[in-house]
Chain A
Amino acid sequence: MSIALPAGPQPSPNRRITIGTAVFGAGIAAMIGSMLAIWLKFRADAPTRESSDGLKIIKDWLPADVVIPETATNVMLVTLVVACVMGQWASYAARRHDRSHASIAIALTGFFGLAALNAQFFIFREIGIGVADSAYGAMFFAICGVLALLITIGVVYSVAAWFRVIGGRVTDGDAVYGHALYWYILTAAMTAVWLVVYVQK
């Protein structure tokens, strides 16, 4: 015979997906942070050489034929910021039980996520180096590939949240809030990658 504890009240809505997204986001931060730390270590440890004009000593890190399409990298970052705004709009609408706005906002979030992915693949095509050419190449494709994978997961998250909302579960905003949080985390990760990989190189 089990010991009988007093019965509690009916469960109230919780924030499980949001909290889960936050914990998962901590893992993303640890991984991207670690990749960037290794990137910085390689850059710091790179041998030095004379610049082509012979006037100064530079780090032999960036391959000579690399072409970083800076417009595309900047647009990619801005696109992710806009995706965050859309995600926040969806949360705002969900709090007010506004299904039509929430569904439009989530769809737009996913769309901007796809646009960011498109920008990432454009950068891969334009960068002008191969993955096997240098340490820079291997690490560039590894870190940006992980970012592309995380954006893809974000798009899938958007699709799942969108189905949930158009299915009528807008009053339970947990998935929508978690979805917005994911895009915030992703944008933070992209900002760090943008700064270290695309700006500082």
Chain B
Amino acid sequence: MSNPFASRTGITVVGFAIGITATLLQYFGNPPNMGICVACFERDIAGGLGLHRAAVVQYIRPEIIGFVIGAFIAALLAKEYRPRGGSAPLVRFFLGVFAMIGALVFLGCPWRALLRLAGGDWNAMTGLAGLATGIGAGVLFLKSGYSLGRAQTQKPAAGTLFPVFMAGLFLLLVFQVTFSEGGPIFFSQKGPGSQHAPLLISLGAGLLVGAIAQRSRFCTMGALRDVILLRDFHLMSGVAGLLVAAFAMNFILGQFKPGFASQPIAHTDHLWNFLGMALAGLAFALAGGCPGRQLFLSGEGDLDAGIFALGMIVGAGVSHNFAMASSPAGAAAFGPAGVIVGFIFCLAVGFTMRERA
């Protein structure tokens, strides 16, 4: 095959590389069991921009910027840059909002669920079980003809918008502009938002992961979906690679601390860990990709994926402003309500949006 990354070996190696990169980022300063977490890092960006005022989770994460721009460059070089969009953008925006609300009840995206497991945080197991359940529900919709409709080809310049937006965030990060007294850009002085690897290491890691993930089509949601839907283990070998590499690296770096209680940036509310991730999984399945994959797609010109990512960033603001995001103490006051509203929305989307064959 002309694209070696798209082979079984290719995707396994990519998963392995992501596992190593993520655990090394923790070693270099990123929060524990959060070397790379797309949901958490988009939430930190939302905080940095002042879309929420949770003071401990505000930072413009260069990894996210790197993901999009790395995928953009890789797609350009491989002649796969192809601006497209127009497949129910507003529906995708709200899928992003509710995906984030669910992920922040659990406290992590699928990538972080894997990294938490690899760090010995056994609460990740209920989260991953929820994720699989949500994706399983999404598969039932896909089997019965669920579709958000076709995307159309867009003008070449349109696809550069999301990478340019990311470049703009990078400038805000580098110059740390203060827009008003006590105003944005916010940078956490303590808490997870203050824990980060050096800027260039984070950016480099993001660019690398963005490029190889674009080439290999690495997707954690797709991995579970393809196993359930098609008995196809191709993408799952990437997830397995990530998990094995992260386990090994955590042992080597002394980052493996097994147990349920007192895990970093996690809680032991099993019911809401499960349901939060189930909501996220369903939303990812309906939108066609995990949060990481949506960023790589937006880099290669998928405007709808860009809309989903923006939905997640706004969703993070909503989640923290309306007391829905969990804390290490457990689910927040309005977290369960947010998850229930999210389920109602996702089920309505699943039942009403379908192609008549």
Is the pairing of A and B real? no
